[in-house]
Amino acid sequence: MVDYHASNSQASSGGPAVYMDPREQENDWDRDLLLDPAWEKQQRKTFTAWCNSHLRKAGTQIENIEEDFRDGLKLMLLLEVISGERLPKPERGKMRVHKINNVNKALDYIASKGVKLVSIGAEEIVDGNAKMTLGMIWTIILRFAIQDISVEETSAKEGLLLWCQRKTAPYKNVNVQNFHISWKDGLAFNALIHRHRPELIDYDKLRKDDPLTNLNNAFEVAEKYLDIPKMMDAEDIVGTLRPDEKAIMTYVSCFYHAFSGAQKAETAANRICKVLAVNQENEHLMEDYEKLASDLLDWIRRTIPWLENRAPEKTMAEMQQKLEDFRGYRRVHKPPKVQEKCQLEINFNTLQTKLRLSNRPAFMPSEGRMVSDINGSWHNLEGAEKGYEEWMLNEIRRLERLDHLAEKFRQKATIHESWTDGKEAMLTQKDYETASLSEVKALLRKHEAFESDLAAHQDRVEQIAAIAQELNELDYYDSPSVNSRCQKICEQWDALGSLTQSRRESLERTEKQLESIDELYLEYAKRAAPFNNWMEGAMEDLQDMFIVHNIEEIQGLITAHEQFKSTLPEANKEREAIQAIQAEVQKIAQYNGIKLSGGNPYTTITPKTIDNKWDKVEQLVPQRDQALQEELAKQQSNDHLRRKFATQANIVGPWIQTKMEEIGRISIEMNGTLEDQLVNLREYEQSIIEYKPNIDQLEGDHQLIQEALIFDNKYTAYTMEHLRVGWEQLLTTIARTINEIENQILTRDAKGISQEQLHEYRTSFNHFDKDHSGGLMAEEFKACLISLGYDVENNKTKRTGQMDMDNYRALLVATGNSLGDAEFARIMGIVDPNNSGVVTFQAFIDFMSRETTDTDTADQVIASFKILAADKNFIMAEELRRELPPDQAEYCIARMAPYSGPDAKPGALDYMSFSTALYGESDL
């Protein structure tokens, strides 16, 4: 409204009028209620020139600012020119009342534009009050030339000052801090012109110590080339201690409006730079993802053949080295790859979130590098890894048994070959042809003893053949030499059988002619041979190698050994009885004066041989005792290792399961702000990481068990493999949960979603996620939308109150189960593009934020390029280089296709297709 009467002390004391726009409080007309004469002179010239710059468009002008506006006619005309609107028809009378009415019409129009005029009355203007007239013109300038200037949401004066500071920042000797003394040397005016029209001014030739030349140069160039009239005198500015602020602001505002077209281009360039920066960052993230995915896939491809190689080694040492290599792979090589795989998924999710937030098309990795491809390759890796350790342990067990069997074969073969040495020569000699009757009888008895001995060795030969057969079945690497030796033994054994039969037949033919046999020798021989064979068998058993894997097996061997020792007294009686026969022979010979020639003709087993072997048996018994006790101690140690591992495993296993369940609850029961949740989750993650020494300790215990060749553990159901997989899943799950919160923060900050909205989204989502799976089925998702007030029929949001599933199903029945089928199908296509049937929370909040917020679009980018191209349908490379930073200009030039429209010219670039490609085909 217009106040026609003085309403404050300023008016009553004759002070100037004040424009009281709340955004312009700093522009009080004169705090000391007095107008400096120098300032008044500057304002008269400046305001007059400013008014004439507009009035000349109507073919008129003013000479004296306080006189020429007194009748209100040119004042109304001025307002019509600068506003482009028609004012009420003026009164043409010459009387004072007509003039007052016209001025009031002008003041009413100014008031209608939201300007509160204080102390400005029509009478003062009609009376030619200079201060009031200047105040009124300053009010018009503020409203129509300065008020709409705003940079970064600042006030008009601050916005104009900020614009000047930015435009003159690169120029030496220019430091714009205000609208008075910062402009006295004229360099700031010249810098403004040079910044926008560098061809008009040679700025480097200007000197700070020559302000008159600088000011006159700027004023003349502005008037001649920019159509900005000269509104001030250089001498007045230089000669005044502090130039008038309002005069300077009025003149500078003309520069702002003269260069407004360039300002639009700068705004457009800033928008394009922002869009290109987002695109460049996204491309860098895509390249990082591709490289990391390629490196991980290459490592998996190289590792799988190594894990699938089941070619057995020939020796225990080679297989144990293979096992140690696998342990190194599990401890050193695989854990970093697990982290890389987890980080790759996190990077992919973050990139997709950024693309959605910037309204860009989703990132599609190159063929074979999708997250699903990497998960598939990882699954193949774990499939190849599964069973590899078990296969190696089985191979070590097989090689251990092979080594044991091979050594047993060599021992038995050596014993048998030692026994058969010389037997063929003995069986083929013809000594019986020249022997006496007694000698023949002796030879026959001796042969019978040999046959008994031969029969006793039959078991050993069969054992040798059976061991050789088992070595062949177990694929012993040195089977050819074993088979050759076994074949030789069997052939020799068959030959001995034939020779034995032939010699017996010869002796029996001779026996009819020869009769002389010593019954005692014969009895000795018959009893000594099996006893001797028993002792050899006992010595062989006492020296036999054994292999056990638990306490029960070694205790079984100890029990068997104790049973063997219990038979020794009875065996000693047999030895004494045999020795008594030999003693009886000696007694009879001595009694009858018989001189014995040589030894027992029926056997080569002498009493000394029996005593020596008996002594050997007695020596081997305690040695066997010691070996069995050492093995018992070893098995007891192994059992301790089993118990130690089981105790820790039975703690770690349930701990991992509990943590997995806690993470599941945390991901559902998100309390507090997202930042609080992120801090809590990271602290929770740190507590899990601090548990790592327990896993390392368990790995150490597991290695001790493997080095001890322990293959089973009855004290726990947990294996190291299960615990490793559980630990890796625990680390991956907490990392994914943290990434989900980070992406929610990113979405919230980028889309302007409040904490309360996110809490509402999470509460509704959890309400319908009945099975706590972290995803909603289609029906649950639809109910969730309705509970949040989303009108599925009309694609708009309205507050309807939360609805549970029972009420939702009732609503479906009542409406015929047809709540916006087409609209809901469109929404499902957005939140579930792969048709998995499940909507994740991230996809849900992405949809809700996209539906309720605005982002830059391809249309906006095209409009910005159109400004830079001066409304052409194409843009030239030099225009891009002039308007954009170098790196972003070259980025556009390298990616823009040549323009092929009807108005094309050489070098023209198609910015429309480029802008469309930034956002994908779906945006336009």
> What digits encode the pLDDT tens for the residues 416-459?
888 888 888 888 887 766 655 577 778 888 888 888 888 888 88
Range of lowest pLDDT (271-280, 377-386, 571-580, 765-774): 765-774
Same domain, 696 and 833: yes
Confidence of residue 171 (pLDDT cuts 50, 70, 90): very high
Name every residue whose Cβ is closer than 8 Å to that of residue 240 and which is 6 or more positions away in sequence: 38, 39, 42
Q: What is the mean pLDDT of the chain?
A: 81
- Residue 847's pLDDT is what? 79
CA distance 72 to 126: 8
Scanning the structure block, which residue is given the tokens 């009080």? 28
* Apex 553 CA angle, 547 and 557, nearest 5: 80
In terms of Cβ atoms closer than 10 Å to its own Cβ (0-12, 13-18, 19+), residue 219 is: buried
Residue 849 has pLDDT above 80, yes or no: no
**Residue 618 maps to which CATH number?**
1.20.58.60
DSSP track, 618-658: HHHHHHHHHHHHHHHHHHHHHHHHHHHHHHHHHHHHHHHHH
* Apex 916 CA angle, 880 and 845, nearest 5: 120
The answer to whether residue 716 is domain-embedded is: yes
Same domain, 355 and 423: no
Residue 32 has pLDDT above 50, yes or no: no
CA distance 720 to 167: 69
- Residue 885's pLDDT is what? 86
pLDDT above 70 covers a percentage of the chain that reads: 86
**Residue 911 maps to which CATH number?**
1.10.238.10
Residue 122 has pLDDT above 80, yes or no: yes
The conformational region for residue 867 under phi > 0 = left, psi -120 to 50 = alpha, else beta, is alpha
Whole-angstrom Cα Rg for the chain:
55
Q: Return the exposure string of 77-99: e unless at least 16 CB atoms fall within 10 Å of the residue's CB, then b.
A: bbbbbbeeeebeebbeeeeeebb
- Residue 542's pLDDT is what? 85
Find the helix packing angle between 130-141 and 73-83, rounded to 10°.
10
In angstroms, what CA-CA distances link 618 with 28, 386, 611?
126, 51, 10
Residue 15 has pLDDT above 60, yes or no: no
CA distance 609 to 615: 10
- Residue 17's pLDDT is what? 35
Residue 22 has pLDDT above 80, yes or no: no
Same domain, 620 and 726: no
Same domain, 749 and 875: no
- Residue 631's pLDDT is what? 83
Same domain, 889 and 843: no
The answer to whether residue 133 is domain-embedded is: no
The answer to whether residue 899 is domain-embedded is: yes
Tell me the per-residue pLDDT of 191-237, one tens digit each, with 9 for 90 and over. 999 988 999 999 999 999 999 999 999 999 999 998 899 988 999 89
The answer to whether residue 260 is domain-embedded is: no
- Residue 35's pLDDT is what? 53
Pick from 564, 617, 607, 618: nearest CA to 583: 607
CA distance 148 to 157: 10
Same domain, 538 and 592: yes
Name every residue whose Cβ is closer than 8 Å to that of residue 908 and which is 6 or more positions away in sequence: 874, 875, 876, 898, 899
- Residue 597's pLDDT is what? 61
The answer to whether residue 810 is domain-embedded is: no
CA distance 55 to 86: 15
- Residue 61's pLDDT is what? 93
CA distance 214 to 212: 5
Pick from 23, 265, 244: nearest CA to 149: 23
Residues 346 and 737: beta-carbon distance below 8 Å: no
- Residue 2's pLDDT is what? 32
CA distance 377 to 394: 27
Residue 135 has pLDDT above 60, yes or no: yes
Please state whether beta strands 18-19 and 117-118 pair in parallel, antiparallel, or not at all (unpaired).
antiparallel
Same domain, 427 and 497: yes
Confidence of residue 594 (pLDDT cuts 50, 70, 90): very low
Same domain, 831 and 771: yes
In angstroms, what CA-CA distances link 391 with 309, 312, 386?
10, 9, 9
What does the pLDDT average to over 404-413? 81
Confidence of residue 23 (pLDDT cuts 50, 70, 90): very low
Same domain, 538 and 506: no
Same domain, 687 and 833: yes
* Apex 825 CA angle, 821 and 830, nearest 5: 150
Same domain, 830 and 709: yes
- Residue 153's pLDDT is what? 60
CA atoms within 13 A of residue 5's CA, in its CB half-sphere: 1
Confidence of residue 9 (pLDDT cuts 50, 70, 90): very low
Same domain, 395 and 499: no
Pick from 855, 864, 924: nearest CA to 888: 864
CA distance 8 to 346: 67
Confidence of residue 817 (pLDDT cuts 50, 70, 90): very low
The answer to whether residue 192 is domain-embedded is: no
- Pick the last residue of a domain from 612, 631, 649: 649
Can you tell me whether residue 839 is helix, strand or coil?
A: strand
The answer to whether residue 215 is domain-embedded is: no
Range of the domain at 876: 858-919
DSSP track, 450-478: HHHHHHHTHHHHHHHHHHHHHHHHTT-TT
- Pick the last residue of a domain from 649, 666, 693: 649
Residue 307 has pLDDT above 70, yes or no: yes
Residues 163 and 256: beta-carbon distance below 8 Å: yes
What does the pLDDT average to over 559-573? 89
The answer to whether residue 236 is domain-embedded is: no
Range of lowest pLDDT (627-631, 661-665, 668-672): 668-672
Pick from 152, 174, 173: nearest CA to 163: 152
Scanning the structure block, which residue is given the tokens 């923060």? 745
pLDDT above 90 covers a percentage of the chain that reads: 18
- Pick the last residue of a domain from 373, 403, 433: 403
Residues 119 and 17: beta-carbon distance below 8 Å: yes
Residue 757 has pLDDT above 60, yes or no: yes
Tokens at 352, concatenated: 């997709």
- Residue 436's pLDDT is what? 55
Per DSSP, 331 falls in state I
CA distance 76 to 4: 18
Range of lowest pLDDT (92-106, 394-408, 487-501, 634-648): 394-408
Residues 777 and 703: beta-carbon distance below 8 Å: no
Residue 869 has pLDDT above 50, yes or no: yes
CA distance 802 to 545: 79
Name every residue whose Cβ is closer than 8 Å to that of residue 204 and which is 6 or more positions away in sequence: none
Q: How many structural domains does the chain have?
A: 5
pTM: 0.51
Tell me the per-residue pLDDT of 777-803, one tens digit each, with 9 for 90 and over. 888 888 888 877 766 555 544 443 444
Which stretch, 17-31, 250-264, 356-370, 539-553, has highest mean pLDDT?
356-370
